[in-house]
Amino acid sequence: MQINIGLIGFGTIGAGVVKILQKSASSIEEKTGVRLCLKRIADLDITTTRGVEVEPELLTTKAEEIIYADDIDVVIELIGGYEPARTIVLSAMRAGKSVVTANKALLSRYWEEIFQTAAESQVAFYAEASVGGGIPIISAITQGLVANEICEIYGIINGTCNYILTKMSDECLEFSEALKQAQTNGYAEADPAFDIEGIDTAHKLSILSSISFGGHVSLDDISIEGITKITKQDIDYAKELGFVIKLIGVAKRLSANEIEASVHPVMIPENHLLSSVNDVFNAVYLIGDFVGPMMFYGKGAGQLPTASAIVSDLVMLAHQGKGLINARASLTMEENMIKVRKTDSISSRYYLRITAEDRPCVLANIAGILGKYGISIASCIQKERGQFVPIIMLTHEAEEGNLRTAIAEIDGLPEIKDKTVCISLMVY
């Protein structure tokens, strides 16, 4: 079986796809019976060296020469962003082409439009590389775990944030120092907001949740908090208490048609598998109703890991046609019954760091306010002495809405210096 491919976007990942096809096309055909034939590559810049040799006649600056070509079966979209990627993807599908992409932002925002168009055009849409780079998490959920209802998902799915938090922990760096190191080493953009504010993680959680829970979970449904407020002080206290701080995308099935979905820093017990996921590596820990807990770990970004996922989608498409991801997306559009519970009514345990004046009755006042809102203190640490000192508390389970109200009241006390830092604890 031969699949003729058109590649739109000849950047870092596109060059990785070409490298893999040049090196491994023969062995892939031997293993799978699928011949992957790269027919054309489109990019606005076709003169810059990409570290891979390509015959000049394969190159074009016009995406239309791929979208509407009779000799191309599958379009790989690697432009990224919303436009013109959206227009290219939809046009290609309407022209009868199946599409493979790594574009998590596009899929998260235009999920329903993309799969509706795929269904109407009777073509396939694959996006393994959109979450977790080379980790085959989407195919695991849609195929390997198809007999299961996914109950819970915990994802460390942004390498930039994980690198920063790892360096803060291992090298005792402040956030700004760790961010600068990440930028120097090429793990963070010059403008890192998309990563450190949690948006990238939320896009990926949106995709995983939509596939797992039978309804489109949009970015607007997800509560998002990044890592910019995490300090070395919090990292140190977490260690002392037996925890590690990670940015986690969390999604849990609460009932047949209701879930919770959020992105925020989480204190993970140091004996949990996710606590050992460091540097730029990614991991997705999920729980299925039949298989129980499982963890998928690997390189979540980079040229060749991401390109590897794209090539695997090409082979999957050749064997399965529309595949299970299209089937699940169609179910999403037909039923569309999933609801995302507001975080105010979600319960968890919490870490609190309150900076308060060191004098009698302050701790009693804080405890009184917490008690007024039904929040019970599990433990409390106050080691330092001085005019203002950190008070570290771990709570028992409490509703987030009640906790936020209590914190606002505590922060309004005259003896409180700074805003209280609040980090949820992983409850499993």
Determine the angle formed by the axes of helices 199-213 and 111-121, rounding to 10 degrees. 50
3-state secondary structure of 224: strand
Is residue 329 predicted with pLDDT exceeding 80?
no
Q: Which residues contact 235 (CB under 8 A, 6 or more apart)?
A: 165, 168, 169, 245
Give percent of the chain above pLDDT 90: 82
Is residue 207 predicted with pLDDT exceeding 70?
yes
pLDDT of residue 337: 66
Q: Could you give all domains of the chain from N- to C-terminal order, each with its CATH number? A: 150-298+336-343 (3.30.360.10), 344-425 (3.30.70.260)
104, 204, 252, 322: which one is catalytic? Answer: 204
263 versus 326: the higher-pLDDT residue is 263
Is residue 385 predicted with pLDDT exceeding 90?
no
Average pLDDT over residues 243-262: 94
Among 163, 157, 141, 164, residue whose Cα is nearest residue 203: 157
Give percent of the chain above pLDDT 70: 95
pLDDT of residue 350: 96
Q: Which residues contact 194 (CB under 8 A, 6 or more apart)?
A: 200
Q: How confident is the model at residue 382 (pLDDT cuts 50, 70, 90)?
A: confident
Task: Take residue 174 and report the two structure tokens written for it.
Answer: 């402040």
- How far is the C-alpha of 60 from the C-alpha of 418, rounded, in Å? 57
Average pLDDT over residues 193-210: 96
Average pLDDT over residues 385-407: 91
Is residue 330 predicted with pLDDT exceeding 70?
no
Q: Does residue 252 contact residue 259 with C-beta atoms inside 8 Å?
A: yes
Q: Which secondary structure element, helix H or strand E, spans residue 176, and what is its range?
A: helix 175-184
Neighbours of 162 (CB within 10 A): 26
pLDDT of residue 75: 98
Residues in the chain: 428
CA 258 to chain centre: 20
Q: Clarify whether 252 is annotated catalytic.
A: no
Model pLDDT for residues 43-84, shown as the tens digit of each residue: 999 999 999 999 999 999 999 999 999 999 999 999 999 999
pLDDT of residue 162: 97
Q: Does residue 401 contact residue 407 with C-beta atoms inside 8 Å?
A: no
